[in-house]
Amino acid sequence: MNARHEVVRKISELAPPAPAEDYSKRPLTELYGENVFGMAVMRGVLPKKTYQALVRTVEQGEALDASHADTIATAMKDWAISRGATHYTHWFQPMTGLTAEKHDTFLNYNEEGRAITEFSGKMLIKGEPDASSFPSGGIRATFEARGYTAWDPTSPAFLMEGVRGKTLVIPTAFCSWTGEALDKKTPLLRSLEALNKQALRVLRILGNTHAKRVTSTVGPEQEYFLVDRRFYWLRPDLINAGRTLFGARPPKGQEMEDHYFGSIRPRVLAFMMDLEHEAYRLGIPIKTRHNEVSPAQFEVAPIFERGNVAADHNMLLMELMRGTAQKHGFECLLHEKPFAGVNGSGKHNNWSMMDDQGNNLLEPGQTPEENAQFLVFMSAVVRSIHKWGHVLRASIASAANDHRLGANEAPPAIISVYLGERLTEVVQSLVAGTKGQKKAGGVIDIGVSALPPIPKDESDRNRTSPFAFTGNKFEFRAVGASMSIARPNTYLNTIAADSLDFMATEIEKAMKSGKDLHAAVQKVVSETLGDSQRIIFNGDNYTKEWHAEAEKRGIPNLRHTVDAVEVLAQPETKELFRRHGVYSEQELASRRTIFLETYVKTLHIESSITANMAQTILLPAVFGYQRGLALTLRDVRSTLAPNAAGATAKLLQQVTELADRLQGSIAKLEAARAEVEGNGDVAAHARHYREKVLPAMEAVREAADALELLVDDEWWPLPKYREMLFVY
Ligand code: ADP
Ligand code: MG
C-alpha cells in the first residue's frame, strides 16, 4: 500500500483522545505559576529587604545590589531542589532566533569528597557558556571570542520538566566581554529603558508627578498549523524547511470560510488544553484559543504582559507548542507560509505603554486631562510610523515572511496606520485647527474640551492594516508566526521613544516661548499629526489602488527582505538606534549581516531540498507511471489496433512533456545555485538568491504540481494538501 494511504487509514482509525488528566479537578488559580519562582514565592522565602529591592528592580528598573544575589540564589536553589530539580541553566536568545540553554548540575563535592549542592549569587548572575558557535555577524571577529550570560531579574526563573527530571531555567541576556549584545534580549531591555526615559519626560511635562516607570505591554496572538506527524515524516520539505515546497492546490481550500472560529475537533482541543495546562503552570497567561482562517490553522493568545516578559513567554510558548503537539501525534508548524494558496501564519503584536500603577497610556480616557495625555502618546506613535515605518518593516524581514507580506491575507509591506473613523475625525479636526479652519463639530481644545468617546470595537474593524489602533493599543500585524517578538518590539519601543523625545522637546520649546501648557500641547500635537497625516490610511490595504496611492504619498514599499534590510545600513537608522542607546553602529551592522546570511542560508537549504526531492522522489514516481502508461499503450495497440487507446496516448504525451519540463527546470535550478554571485558580499549573494534561485525553485514546483494532478494517486509519493490540511 502507498505510504500516504497507509497514514490516512491509520488516522481514520484513531480513537478519540483519552483523558490524561481531568483539568477541572485542580482550580486554575492554584495551578497558575506553580513552576515559576515568581514574586509571590519570593515574598514567602526572601528576607523583606531583599524582596523589596527585587520589587524595585522589576517594577522600577532599579539596579539590584549585588549583596542580595547570594540570598536570592540560595532561595532559588532550595525552591528548585525541593521541587525535584537537579540542574540549572542560563537561558538566552542568541541571534539564531531560537533559545539556547546549557545545563549545569547543582552538585559539587566538599573537602571530604562528599556530595553537596551549590548555587551562589555569582552563579546566578553570570554564566560563561562556550558560545563561540552562535552567529555574531562579525562582532566576534573583532572582539572577544567568548560571550557571557547575565541574569535578567525582571523575567522570572522557572522549572522546565523533562521526562526524567527538572531543570531550573534562569532567563539571561547574552553579551560579549566587551559589552556588545550578542542576543535579542539585551537590545529589547535597552529599548525599554529608552521608552521609559522619554515617556516619563512627557508625563512630567503633562504634570504627572507620581509615575515612576513606564514599560511597554505586549500581547502576541500566535497563529499556527497542526498536521499529523505521520504525514510530516513523509515530507522532507516540512522536516528541513518547515514549509511545503511542493503541493497542488487542494480542490477545497479556505474558500468556504468554514474553518474560522468553527467548532474545534476533539483531537485538537485535547492538544490545546494540554498546551494551556503547561503554559499556566509556567505562568504564561493564555486567554484565547480558536480555529483560524485556513483549514488546520489555529490561534492561541495570551493576556498582555510587560514587553520583556511577553517576549520570553512567547519563546517559551512556541517551544511548548512544538513539544505538546508531538505528544499528540501532531507536528506544530510555526512557519509563516507552510502551504501555498491558503493563509500563512502571523503573530499580531498588540502593543501599548503602561505606567507602574497600571495605567494604559493609550487609553483615550474620559476627562480632558486624560484625553490630552492620550493625544500626546497617540500622536507620538503615529509620528513614529510616519518617520520610521520602514525601520519597523525591517524588523520583521525574513525569507519566510516574504511569502506572506503583501499576499492577500496579510498586511502589505507598506507600513501605514489605521486609526478608525472616529479618531481620524479627531485628528482632522486638530489639524484643521492649526490652519485656522473651522471644522464641522468644532475645533478640539486639548486639555479643555472632552473628546468624543473612541469606540473600542469599530463596527468596520480593519483587518488589512499592518498597524492598527484598536481602542487602547496598537496592533502590529506584520510580525511572522515563527519570529521572536523581541526584535519588532525593540524597534517599536525605540521609534516610539524617539517621537516622545521629539514631542517633549517641542512642548518645552513652545512653553519657553511663552505658551501655557495647554496651548503648547495643542500646538505640538496638531502640528505633529499634520506632518504625519500621509501615514494614516483607513481603507483596504489589499487593493492595487492603495499601492498606487501609497507610492504617491511617498510611503516606502519594501517588498522583500533583501530590500528591507538595507534600511539598517542607512546613516539615519544608525543614528536613531545609537541616540537611544539600543544598538551601537557595530551591533546594528552585525544584525544586518545576520539577516542577510540567514536569508541566504534559508534559500540555500530550500533550493537544495527542492532539487533533491524533485530529482529523487518525484521524477522516479513519474517515470514509474510513465512506464505503466507506455506498457498499457503498447499492449492495447497490439491487441486492438495500431491507433487504439487515444486517451492513453494523450496522457502519456502530457506526462512526458511535463516530466521533461520538470527535469529541465531542475537543471536550471542547479545552474542558478551553482552560480554563486557575491564574492563575499552577502547582500549581493542574497540578491542572487532572491532574483535567480527563488524563481528557478518556483518553476520546478510548477511542473511538479502539474504532474501531481495527472499522475495516478497510487504512485504519488508525497502527502497531498487535501490530506495534510483535512485529515487529522
Ligand atoms: P481583539 O484585539 O481581537 O479585540 P483583545 O482586545 O481582547 O482582542 O486583545 C487581543 C490581544 O491584545 C490579547 O493578547 C490582549 O492581551 C492584548 N492586549 C489587550 N490590551 C493590551 C494592551 N494594553 N497592551 C498590549 N496588549 C494588549
Ligand atoms: Mg488572528
Q: Is residue 120 within 8 Å of 68, Cβ to Cβ? A: no
Distance, CA 518 to ligand 2 centroid (Å)? Answer: 40
Ligand 1 pocket residue status of 218, Cβ below 6 Å: yes
Testing ligand 1's pocket by substitution, the residue of 351, 353, 473, 475 carrying the most ligand atoms inside 8 A of its CB is 473
Distances (CA, A) of 534 to 387, 393, 499, 530, 555: 11, 17, 16, 9, 8
End-to-end Cα, the chain, rounded Å:
20
C-alpha of 353 from chain center? 19
| Ligand 1 near 215 CB (within 6 A) | no
* Backbone angles phi and psi of 253, in degrees to 5: -110, -120
What does the alpha-carbon distance between residue 649 and residue 654 come to, in Å, rounded to a whole number? 9
Ligand 2: centre distance to CA 261 (Å): 10
**Cα 221 to averaged position of ligand 2 atoms, centre (Å):** 6
Task: Name the grid cell of 238.
Answer: 516540512
DSSP 196-209: HHHHHHHHHHTT--
Tell me, in angstroms, the distance from the centre of ligand 1 to residue 495's CA.
21
| 292 CA to centre of ligand 2 in angstroms | 7
Distance of CA 65 to the CA centre of its chain: 34
Nearest ligand (C-alpha, residue 348): 2
Cα–Cα dist 480/396, whole Å: 7
Choose among 619, 602, 716, 719: nearest CA to 667.
619
Residue whose C-alpha is closest to residue 295's, from 342, 333, 231, 341? 342
Residue 350, ligand 1, Cβ within 6 A: yes
CB 407 within 8 A of CB 472: no
Distance CA(394)–CA(561), nearest Å, equals: 7
Q: Which ligand is nearest to the CA of 288?
A: 1
| Interval 359-388: pLDDT, tens | 999 999 999 999 999 999 999 999 999 999
Q: Is 71 in the pocket of ligand 1 (CB under 6 A)?
A: no
| CA 304 to ligand 1 center in whole angstroms | 6
How many helices (H) and strands (E) would you count in the chain? 26, 18
Angle subtended at Cα 96 by Cα 594 and Cα 241, rounded to the nearest 5 degrees: 95
Q: How far is CA 549 from CA 381, 383, 404, 530, 563, in A?
A: 22, 19, 21, 18, 20
Atom of ligand 1 nearest to the CA of 303: 16
Distances 546 to 405, 410, 428, 478, 686 between C-alpha atoms, Å: 15, 15, 20, 17, 29
Distance 480 CA to ligand 2 centre (A): 12
| C-alpha–C-alpha distance, residues 265 and 134, integer Å | 41
Instruction: Find out whether the beta carbon of 351 lies less than 6 Å from any atom of ligand 1.
Output: yes
Q: What is the pLDDT of residue 63?
A: 85
Contact 149, 89 (CB under 8 A): no
Q: Which ligand is nearest to the CA of 299?
A: 2
How far, in Å, CA of 215 to CA of 307, rounded? 7
Instruction: Provide the 8-state DSSP code for 428.
Output: H
301 lines ligand 1 (CB under 6 A): yes
CA of 106 from ligand 1 middle (Å) equals 40
Q: Is 302 in the pocket of ligand 1 (CB under 6 A)?
A: yes
- 297 has which bridge partners? 225
Q: What is the pLDDT of residue 459?
A: 47
Integer Cα distance of 392 and 404 in angstroms: 16
Regarding the beta carbon of 219 and ligand 1, being less than 6 Å apart is answered: yes
CA of 471 to the centre of ligand 1 (A): 10
Residue nearest to atom 7 of ligand 1 (CA): 303
Atom 19 (ligand 1) nearest CA = 304
Per the document, the length of the chain is 728
In angstroms, what is the span from residue 232 Cα to ligand 2's centroid? 24
Close Cβ partners of 266 (under 8 Å, ≥ 6 residues apart): 16, 17
Please give the full DSSP string across 480-516, using - where no structure is assigned.
BTTS-SHHHHHHHHHHHHHHHHHHHHHHHHHHHTT--
Q: Does residue 623 contact residue 585 with C-beta atoms inside 8 Å?
A: no
Domains detected in the chain: 21-183 (3.10.20.70), 191-442+463-583 (3.30.590.10), 599-724 (1.20.120.1560)
For ligand 1, say whether the CB of 473 is within 6 Å of any of its atoms: yes
Indicate which residue's Cα is closest to atom 6 of ligand 1: 470
Contact of 559 with 407, CB cutoff 8 Å: no
Determine whether the shortest distance from the Cβ of 360 to ligand 1 is under 6 A. Answer: yes
Verify whether ligand 1 is closer than 6 Å to residue 462 (CB atom).
no
Query: What's the alpha-carbon Rg for the chain, to the nearest Å?
Result: 28
Distance CA 553, CA 548 (A): 9
Pocket test residue of 304, 354, 377, 485 for ligand 1, highest count of atoms within 8 A of CB: 304
C-beta of 217 in contact with ligand 1 (< 6 A): yes
| φ, ψ (nearest 5 deg) of residue 223 | -95, 155
Q: Which of 219, 193, 173, 176 is nearest to 577 (CA)?
A: 193
Residue 585 Cα to ligand 1 midpoint, Å, equals 34
Tell me how far the alpha carbon of residue 567 lies from the centroid of ligand 2, in angstroms.
Answer: 28
Ligand positioned closest to the Cα atom of 409: 2
How far CA 152 is from CA of 40, 57, 127, 157, in Å, comes to 18, 10, 12, 9
The grid cell for 100 is 539556547
Closest ligand relative to 291 C-alpha = 2
**Ligand 1 close to Cβ of residue 307 (< 6 A):** no
Ligand 1 centroid, distance to 299 Cα (angstroms)? 14
Q: Is the CB of 359 under 6 A from ligand 1?
A: no
How close is the Cα of 624 to the center of ligand 1, in Å?
54
**Quick one: DSSP state of residue 346?**
B
Cell of 575: 543614528
For 449, the grid coordinates are: 474640551
CA nearest 526: which of 362, 361, 375?
Answer: 375
Low-confidence stretches of the chain (pLDDT < 70) are 1, 131, 140-145, 408, 435-442, 457-461, 677-678
HSE of 103, CA atoms in CB hemisphere, 13 A:
13
- 377 C-beta closer than 6 A to ligand 1: no
Note the pLDDT of residue 386.
98
Measured in Å, residue 221 CA sits from the centre of ligand 1 at 9
Ligand 1 centre from 218 Cα, in Å?
8
590 CB near ligand 1 (under 6 Å): no
CA 422 to centroid of ligand 1, rounded, Å: 20
Among protein residues, the one with the nearest Cα to ligand 1's atom 11 is 219
Q: Phi/psi of residue 104, each to 5°?
A: -125, 145
Q: Identify which ligand lies nearest to the alpha carbon of 350.
A: 1
Q: What are 222's strand-pairing partners?
A: 300, 347
In DSSP notation, 534-587 reads GGB--S-TTSHHHHHHHHHHT--B--SHHHHHGGGGSHHHHHHHHHTTS--HHH
- The ligand with the least distance to the CA atom of 475 is 1
